[in-house]
Chains A and B, each alone.
Chain A
Amino acid sequence: MTSGMLERARWAARAFARYDKASVDRIVAAVAGAGAANATRYAEWAVRETGFGVAEHKALKNVACSTGLVEEYAGHDYVSPRTDAAQKIVSIPRPAGVVFALTPSTNPVATVYFKILLALMTRNAIVISPHPMAKECCADAARTLAAAAAEAGAPDGVIQVVEEPALPLIESMMADPRVDVIVATGGTPVVRAAYRSGNPALGVGPGNVPVFVDRTADLEPAARLIVDSKAFDNSILCTNESVLIVEDAVADRLVPLMRGAHLLSPADRDRVREAVFPGGRFDTRFVGKDATWIAQQAGARVPSGTRVLLAPIDRPMPEEPLAHEKLCPVLALLRVPSTRAGIDAARAVLRISGAGHSAAIHSTDSRTIMEYGAAVPVLRVSVNSGNSLGGSGVHTNLPISMTIGTGYVGGSSAGENLQPGNLVNWTKLAYHVDAPFGDFAGLDPWSPPDGPVPRYPEPSNARTAPASPAAPAPQGDVLREEIRRLILEELASLVRS
C-alpha cells in the first residue's frame, strides 16, 4: 500500500523527462538555494532528533550537498543530447524515472539533499524513505525542497517523502515495479534488501576505515588532519577513520602532535572497550556521542577539550572489538614495525568489515602510496587528507557524495561515489561507419513547460490560454533570485574553506 506515491511519481517523472536544460537548471538552483538557506536549521534538528553528531559539522555537509553540489556539477549537462561527429554517434539522455532513495539516520539531511539534487539534475522523480530515527527532519527537509522545486516550475510530485517509514511498507515499495532504481544508503540489511528486491539498485555497504601513517609522513599536518577528521560529526560517518596504523619509527612523535586526541592508558582503554562493546557487541548508545561523554560513561578520566579517544590495540583481529567500525570518536591505535606490516594491518582491518569502502594514508613516498592502494581492498584512498571529507569529495577532487560505492569487493554494483551520471542512461544514435553523419547542431528534443505541470483541470469550455513558454519572471522574482545567488555564493565559500 503505497498511498499513490509511486503512481504520482511516475506521472511526475514522465513530465520531467521532457524538460529542457534551462528549466532543469532553474529548478536545481532553486532547490539547492532552499537547502543551503535551511542548512543550519536542519543540522540542529537532525542532532536534536537523532541525538547523533555535531550540528556545526552537519550544517557544513548540508551546504556541501546543496549549493556545493551544484557548483561541483555546474559544467555538467545530463539533459541535452551530445553529438560526437568523429564517432558518428549522438547520445540522448534517458532518465531512470522513479528513484526510491533510502537515507540513513547518521547522515540524514545531507543525504536527503544529495539524493534529491542528483535526481533533479538528471530529471528523475524521487521518493525519499528516511531512516525512522530521523524521519521528522528528513520529511520536513524533503517538503521544503519539494516546495522550492514546485515554485521553480518542476512537475507536481517530483519530490515526495514517506512520512511513516515502516519496514513492511519500505520492503513492498522497494519491490514495486513502479520503482526504476533504488539508491540505498544505510546498514547492511537495508542494502541487501535493496539488492534482493528485484529492482535495479545502487546500494553501498559499511566502512571500517584504516589510516596508515608511514615513516615518511609529514607528521604535523597528518596529526591535525586525522584528529579533525576523526572528530568530524562525532565520527558518525562511514568515512571517519576507525583504526590508526602507525610505523614504530614515528609513532612516539605522532601521538603528542595529535592535539585534541587523548591517549588512553591500558586500564582506561579496557574501560572504554567494555563500555562501548559490552560483551563484545557495540552499544548503539555511543553512536555519534562526543569523546568526553564516552569517557565519562566508561569511567575514564580525560582532559577537557578532548575530541578523540585514542585506544591502543595490539592486533587488528576480529576478536579485538576496537578494531571494528565504531561510529563514535574512539580511534584504535596500532603500532607496526614496517611499511609492509602496516599494509597488511590495513588489509586485516578491512577483513573485519568495510571492504570496498575507503582507507587513508599519510606518506610522502609515492611507492608506498601506490603499494597501499594496490593492496588494500577499497575503491578510494584519501592521501594526506582526512578521510571523512576526503572520501566524500569535499576535501579531495573525488565527486562530492554522501553515498560511497563499495563495488564488487563490497557486494555492490556501484563502485564510485554516487553521482548524477548514475541516474541516467543514454540512448545512442549510431550511424553506419561509412554513412554520412547528420547535422544535429541546434537540435534539442526537450522544451520548457508551457505553464504549471500539470495544468489545473479547468473545464475545456472555460480554459484560459496557456502562458507563453519561458515567460520572463516578474520583477520581484528577479530580485529574489539575485539575493538567493548572493547567499549561495557566501555559503559555498564556507564549504571550500
Chain B
Amino acid sequence: MLDYGLFTYADKDEVLEKSSAYWNPGKTQFWIDSGVPLVIDRREGYFLYDVSGKRLIDVHLNGGTYNLGHRNPEVVAALKQAMDHFDIGNHHFPSLARTALAEALITTGPEGLSKVIYASGGGEAIDIALKTARHATGKRKIVSIVKAYHGHTGLAVGTGDERFSRLFLSERPEEFVHVPFNDLAGMEEALRGRDVAAVIMETIPATYGFPLPDPGYLESVKRLCETYDALYIADEVQTGLMRTGELWGITKHGIRPDILVTGKGISGGLYPIAAVLVSERCAGWLTEDGFAHMATFGGGELGCFAAMKTLEICNRPETRSIVHHASDVIGRGLERIRDDNPGWFTGIRQNGLIFGLEFDHPEGAKFVMRQLYDNGVWAIFSTLDPRVLQYKPGILIDPVLTEELLDRTAVAIARAAKEAGK
C-alpha cells in the first residue's frame, strides 16, 4: 500500500496504470520501455527513491533544478518561514519579496544588467526575453543554433529543434533562423542583413548533449551581435548558478550579455520561478508600459524567498570551492573510466560540474542510462543527441558520494558497452 494521506495506491502497478489513464500514456510507456520504471517517492539531498525503495544518486537533477539537492534544508526553512506571512502575492503591485530578489540578482549578476522581469517558468522567461529584444530593437528575427532548446512556450519553441514544434504546427522559419553551432561564418551570414533582434544561446547547449563552444566562439558571436546591431541573450537556465564554477557560465567567457535568463535551479527545486535580467537599453518597455507582460504566478513571492536563499547559497565562497574541488576530482575520475573503455566511451565534454559523456553508438547514452539506473544512478540521455549522456552532479556533492558515484558509473559504462555490442 502506498499511502500519502490525500491519496493511496495499492502498488506501483496501479500508479503506472492510472498514470497512463489520466495523465500521459506516452511518457508513462516510454520509461517502462526504456528500462527505467521510476516512480519517485522519497527525495533527499542527492538521492531519489523509487516507490519500491530503490535508491538512486541523482545526476540529472532536472537540468539543475536540484543543484542544491532535493529539499535542501536551508531552502525548505526559508520557504516555511515565508509561508507564515506571504503567499504568491499580487502581480500588479510593487512587492516586498520581488523587489528584494531583483536587487539580489542584479547586484550579484553580470555587469550591465539593471532590471529583472519575472516568469513562472523557463519557457515563459525565454518568451519575455525575446519579446524584450524585439521591443528594444524594433526587429523581429531571432537567431538560435540548430538543435537548440529553450523551452516549449509560444516563442521559445520556435527557437528550438523541430522535434518539439512541428507536432503543434508551431515552427516559424521566417522569424526563427537556425544556424549550426560553432559556425561563425553561418552566424555572420544570418546577422549580415541587420534584421535580427537577438541571438539566443545556451552557454552550453544542454539538450544537445553539452557540446562545448569552441574557444572564442561565444566571444565572436557577441562581437558579431555588436557589429550587426543584434542583442545577445544568454540562456543560463542550465549553466548558471555556480555550475561552471562561477555564478553565471557566460562570465567565464568575459561576455556581458544584453539579456540573461535563469530558471530551473533558481527555484531551489521547491517553488517554480524564473527570471530575466535585462540591460537598461532593453528595459524600456517596463517604463513605457509596465503592464505589457503579465503573469499571475511570475515572481510569486514564495518563489522569491526560495530563489533568494538559493542565490545566497550558490554565491558562497564555500560553494564555489566545492564546485572547483568536485569538478577536478570527477573530471579526473571520468577520464580514468574513459581510458578503461576505449572505442566505447569516447569523449568527455566538461565545464565545471557540467558533463556530456560521449559514446560511440547512435543511441549509446540510452544504454548507459539504463545500466546506470540498474546500478543506482539516475542520469538522462540528451534528447537531441542520444549518443551523449547528460551528467550533472550536484554542486554541494561531498567526496564520499563522489567516489561512490564514480564507482557506480564505471560499472554501468562497462556493462553498457557489452549490451551495445562494443
Q: Do A and B bind each other?
A: yes
Residues of chain A touching chain B, judged by Cβ–Cβ distance below 8 Å, are: 1, 3-5, 7-8, 10-12, 14-15, 155-157, 160, 178, 453-462
Complex CA distance for A1 and B313, rounded to whole angstroms: 11
From known contacts A1-B74, A4-B313, A14-B399, infer whether A457 and B327 are also in contact, taking CB-CB under 8 Å.
yes
Question: Is A11 in contact with B322, judged by CB distance below 8 angstroms?
Answer: yes
Query: Is A10 a contact partner of B396 (Cβ separation < 8 A)?
Result: no
Contacts of B322 in A (CB 8 A): 4, 7-8, 11
**A459: contacting residue among B74, B321, B350, B399, CB under 8 A:** B350
B325 touches A459 (CB 8 A): no
A142 to chain B, nearest CB (A): 14
A-B residue pairs in contact (CB < 8 Å), sample of 17: A1-B73, A3-B318, A4-B313, A7-B318, A15-B325, A454-B329, A455-B328, A457-B244, A457-B323, A457-B351, A459-B213, A459-B215, A459-B252, A459-B350, A460-B349, A460-B351, A461-B212
Query: B328–A157 contact, CB under 8 A?
Result: no
A285 smallest CB distance to B (angstroms): 38
* Interchain CB contact under 8 A, A3 and B316: yes
Chain B residue at minimal CB-CB distance from A458: B351
Q: How far is the CA of A80 from the CA of B46 in the complex (A)?
A: 36
CB distance from B404 to the nearest CB of A (A): 14
Cβ-closest 4 pairs across A and B: A4-B318, A11-B325, A454-B328, A457-B245
| A10 close to B349 (CB less than 8 A) | no
CB distance from A286 to the nearest CB of B (A): 40
Q: Are A460 and B399 in contact (CB under 8 A)?
A: no
Most buried by B among A156, A157, A460: A460
Q: Does B326 contact A (CB under 8 A)?
A: yes
Cβ of B152 within 8 Å of any chain A Cβ, yes or no, is no
Chain B residues near A15 (CB-CB < 8 A) = 325
User: Complex: how many Å from CA A343 to CA B398?
Assistant: 55
Query: Is residue B158 contacting chain A, with contact meaning CB distance below 8 A?
Result: no
List 10 extra interface pairs beyond A12-B321, A460-B349, CB under 8 A.
Answer: A11-B329, A11-B399, A14-B399, A156-B321, A455-B324, A456-B245, A457-B323, A457-B328, A457-B351, A458-B351
CA distance A78 to B277 in the complex (A): 52
B376 cross-chain contacts in A, Cβ below 8 A: none
Could you say which residues of chain B place their CB within 8 Å of the CB of A12?
321, 325
Closest to A178 in B: B398
Residue interface mask B319-359, A partner, CB < 8 A = 1: 10111111111010000000000000000111111000000
In the complex, A459→B322 CA distance in Å? 17
Min CB distance, A109 to chain B, in Å?
23
Residue B3 CB within 8 A of the other chain? no
CA distance A494 to B215 in the complex (A): 56
Task: Kindly identify, within residues 367 to 422 of chain B, every residue whose CB is under 8 Å from any CB belonging to chain A.
Answer: 396, 398-399
Residue of A7, A454, A460 near B350 (CB, 8 A) is A460
Contact across chains for B319 and A11 when beta carbons are under 8 A apart? no
Q: Which residues of B contact A455 (CB under 8 A)?
A: 324, 328
Assess the A7–B396 pair: CB atoms within 8 A: yes
Q: Which of A3, A8, A178, A460 contacts B348 (CB 8 A)?
A: A460
- A461–B349 Cα distance when bound, in Å, is 8
- Complex CA distance for A197 and B74, rounded to whole angstroms: 22
Whether B318 pairs with A5 at a CB distance below 8 angstroms is yes
Determine if B215 and A462 form an interchain contact, defined as CB atoms under 8 angstroms apart.
Answer: yes
- Check if A454 sits within 8 Å of B316, measured CB to CB: no
In the complex, the chain B residue whose C-beta lies closest to that of A9 is B318
Q: How far is the CA of A3 from the CA of B320 in the complex (A)?
A: 12
Residue of A nearest to B334 (CB): A460
Contact between A11 and B245 (Cβ–Cβ < 8 Å)?
no
B33 CB–A CB distance under 8 Å: no
Contacts A456-B324, A457-B245 hold; do A7 and B212 have CB atoms under 8 A apart? Answer: no
Complex CA–CA separation, A86 to B317 (angstroms): 50
- B319 and chain A: residue at smallest CB distance: A4
Contact check: which of A14, A457, A461 meets B352 at CB < 8 Å?
Answer: A457
Whether, in the assembled complex, B214 has its beta carbon less than 8 Å from a beta carbon of chain A, the answer is: yes
Shortest C-beta distance, B66 to chain A (Å), equals: 16
CB within 8 Å for A10 and B399 given contacts A15-B325, A454-B327, A461-B212: yes
Complex Cα distance A160/B317, Å?
11
Check B349–A156 contact: CB distance below 8 A. Answer: no
Residue of chain A at shortest CB distance from B244: A457
The answer for the CA separation of A457 and B244 in the assembled complex, in Å, is 7
In the complex, which residues of chain A have a beta carbon less than 8 angstroms from the beta carbon of B313? 4
Q: Pick the contact of B214: A155, A157, A461 (CB < 8 A).
A: A461
CA distance A178 to B325 in the complex (A): 16
| B-side contacts of A457, CB under 8 Å | 244-245, 323-324, 327-328, 350-353
Do B325 and A4 touch (CB < 8 A)?
A: no
Q: Which of B74, B215, B398 contacts A461 (CB 8 A)?
A: B215
> A8, B318: Cβ atoms under 8 Å?
yes
Please name the residue on chain B nearest to A155 by beta carbon.
B325
Q: Give bound CA distance, A457 to B354, whole Å.
A: 10
Given contact pairs A4-B396, A157-B321, A459-B351, A11 touches B214 in the complex (Cβ within 8 A) = no
Instruction: Specify which of A5, A156, A458 is in contact with B325 (CB 8 Å cutoff).
Output: A156
The CA-CA distance from A15 to B322 in the complex, in Å, is 12
Q: How far, in whole Å, are A272 and B119 apart by their CA atoms in the complex?
A: 71
Residue of chain B at shortest CB distance from A1: B74
CA–CA, A459 and B349, complex, Å: 8
**Which B residues are CB-close (under 8 A) to A458?**
351
- A10 in contact with B398 given A4-B313, A156-B321, A457-B351 (CB within 8 Å): yes
CA of A8 to CA of B321, assembled, Å: 7
Q: Which residues of A contact B352 (CB under 8 A)?
A: 457
Question: Is B324's CB under 8 angstroms from A7's CB?
Answer: no
Cα A417 to Cα B325 with chains together (Å): 34
Q: Write out the residue numbers on chain B whose beta carbons fall within 8 Å of the beta carbon of A454.
A: 324-325, 327-329
Q: Quick one: closest A residue to B73, CB to CB?
A: A1
CB-CB under 8 A from B351, the residues of chain A are: 457-460
Query: Chain B residues near A1 (CB, 8 Å)?
Result: 73-74
Of A11, A14, A178, A462, the contact of B321 (CB 8 Å cutoff): A11
Partner of B212, one of A10, A157, A460: A460
Q: Which residues of B contact A5 (CB under 8 A)?
A: 318
Residue-wise, chain B 199-236 has the 8 Å CB interface mask toward A (1 for contact) of: 00000000000001111000000000000000000000
* Distance in Å: Cβ of B160 to nearest Cβ of chain A: 23
Q: Would B212 and A459 count as touching, CB distance under 8 A?
A: yes
Q: Please give me the residue from chain A that is nearest to B246 by CB atom.
A: A457
A7 CB, min distance to chain B CBs, angstroms: 6
**What residue of chain B has the Cβ atom nearest to residue A451's Cβ?**
B328
Kindly report which residue of chain B lies nearest to residue A462, judged by CB atoms: B215
A459 to B212, CA, bound (A): 8
Tell me, in angstroms, the Cα distance from A134 to B54 when the chains sit together.
49
How close is B418's CB to chain A, nearest CB, in angstroms? 27
Closest to A12 in B: B325
Contacts of A453 in B (CB 8 A): 325, 328
* B318 closest partner in A (C-beta): A4
Q: Which residues of B contact A10 (CB under 8 A)?
A: 398-399
State in angstroms the CA–CA spacing of A330 and B305 once bound together: 56
- By a CB distance below 8 angstroms, the chain B residues around A459 are 212-213, 215, 252, 350-351
Q: How far is the CA of A7 from the CA of B319 in the complex (A)?
A: 9
Nearest-CB residue, chain B, relative to A157: B321
Residue of A nearest to B331 (CB): A460
Q: Which residues of B contact A157 (CB under 8 A)?
A: 318, 321, 325
CA distance A12 to B316 in the complex (A): 16
For the complex, give the distance between the alpha carbons of A461 and B245 in Å. Answer: 16
Give the complex CA separation of A462 and B319 in angstroms: 23
Q: How far is the CB of B298 from chain A (nearest CB, A)?
A: 30
B22 to chain A minimum Cβ distance, whole angstroms, is 41
Residues of B within 8 A of A7 (CB): 318, 322, 396, 398
